[in-house]
Structure 1
């Protein structure tokens, strides 16, 4: 017999188990946005090396970052892998940050997410991370760590798509932006532990089986 929990119980249990996370780890917006692109398909150790290179070269000055020649930018971020595409994506997000983010801040979340999704290199996961940590909108990031944990929590029989899981969680999602940030960070940190702690729990979500 599984112990039944909901998304709010999950947040409380993870907070008790792991403590506050206070993500996103960055000294300024430019570093944070760079990290959100560089973390795609790699680990944070590699991202840290790329970020250190960028800091030495530009001190995360957005004007300097956008003026770096493409081949030099690729060399700086090479530790993160996929450096050709990520250099393109990094320019795209920094350009949107410089030119558009102040205006987009005023948009409702659903329209804002569409704008973010339209930036080259910003897929569903990165869009939700941007909503959470830059725009401080309560959003659920249905990343691989979430999929893995929710599978262990017997939340679904058939693996959902990213958007199916996101929408199922957000159907009853009355978290503040700070709580949503912590939920994402805690799920990711717990996922790195490869723990079987939740094997005897079941998380129920609306319209998810």
Structure 2
């Protein structure tokens, strides 16, 4: 018996761009990703899993202090030594193994990644032990400048409160919906994701402060809370 194919999630491109303009006006350009090289972006993408960026910065500084923020240095470093250097980022033993897997992958595919299509490059990074969709998309967008929209908890929070997406939408459905609605534009995706993170930290927190939210007038959640007050 044939099964019904689930309809793709659709987003209003005009409303998405309006929200982007409001966020950009409120916060200004964010100049992301804060890194000196594509490899540093990749390391940061692994380290930022389940932790705050301030912790990642401390771990990266530890690596830079001994000139070890280098593919070959990390690849050769004993796992326990690497784990202690990245300890501020949390889950340091797990992340040390993941960085090792990443370095082995990059060394094995030296010179082969840049020519790949966006889909093939994404599949390649998803094959690395410890790299899931969000980490892979961070790497594609910020290290390779590919038009891949990064979905994180902040994106779900903001756009579900705005009433634009279901709160529990699947990762791939959300990613594809943003990409279809906005069109392939890595510069826009870069800045938009950075602005989402900034807004989620300053206004649309777990306990939001709608009084300082530049999106409040278009936000279903804010309107409902005001009606209940």
Query: Could you say which TM-score interval applies, normalised by the shorter chain?
Result: 0.7 to 0.9
Q: Decide whether the 8 Å contact of 1:31 with 1:60 is kept in 2.
A: yes
Q: Displacement of 1:108 after TM fit? A: 1.4
In the alignment, is residue 40 of structure 1 matched against residue 49 of structure 2? yes
Cα 1:116/1:18, change in 2 over 3 Å: same
Q: Displacement of 1:28 after TM fit? A: 2.1
Q: Displacement of 1:102 after TM fit? A: 2.9
Q: Decide whether the 8 Å contact of 1:153 with 1:200 is kept in 2.
A: no
**3-state SS, counterpart of residue 111 of structure 2:** helix
Find 2:143's aligned residue among 134, 143, 147: 134
Alignment correspondent of 1:20:
29
Greater shift, 166-175 or 48-57, is seen at 166-175
Alignment correspondent of 1:200:
217
Find 2:111's aligned residue among 86, 99, 102: 102
How do 1:1-209 and structure 2 match up within 5 A? 5-100=14-109, 102-195=111-204, 196=210, 197=213, 198-201=215-218
CA RMSD for the aligned pairs?
1.9
- State how far apart, in whole Å, the 2-side matches of 1:146 and 1:78 are: 27
Greater shift, 6-15 or 67-76, is seen at 6-15
Q: Decide whether the 8 Å contact of 1:38 with 1:47 is kept in 2.
A: yes
Q: Decide whether the 8 Å contact of 1:125 with 1:143 is kept in 2.
A: yes
TM-score with structure 1 setting the length: 0.88
- State how far apart, in whole Å, the 1-side matches of 2:136 and 2:20 are: 22
Query: 5+ residue gaps in structure 2?
Result: 1-12, 205-209, 221-229
Q: How many residues align?
A: 200
- State how far apart, in whole Å, the 2-side matches of 1:84 and 1:103 are: 29
Where in structure 1 do 4 or more consecutive aligned residues deviate above 4 Å?
Answer: none
Q: Displacement of 1:157 after TM fit? A: 4.3
Q: Displacement of 1:137 after TM fit? A: 0.8
Q: Decide whether the 8 Å contact of 1:37 with 1:90 is kept in 2.
A: yes
Q: Decide whether the 8 Å contact of 1:58 with 1:65 is kept in 2.
A: no
Cα 1:118/1:12, change in 2 over 3 Å: same
Relative contact order (alpha carbons < 8 A, sep ≥ 6): 1 or 2 greater? Answer: 1
Q: Decide whether the 8 Å contact of 2:156 with 2:167 is kept in 1.
A: no
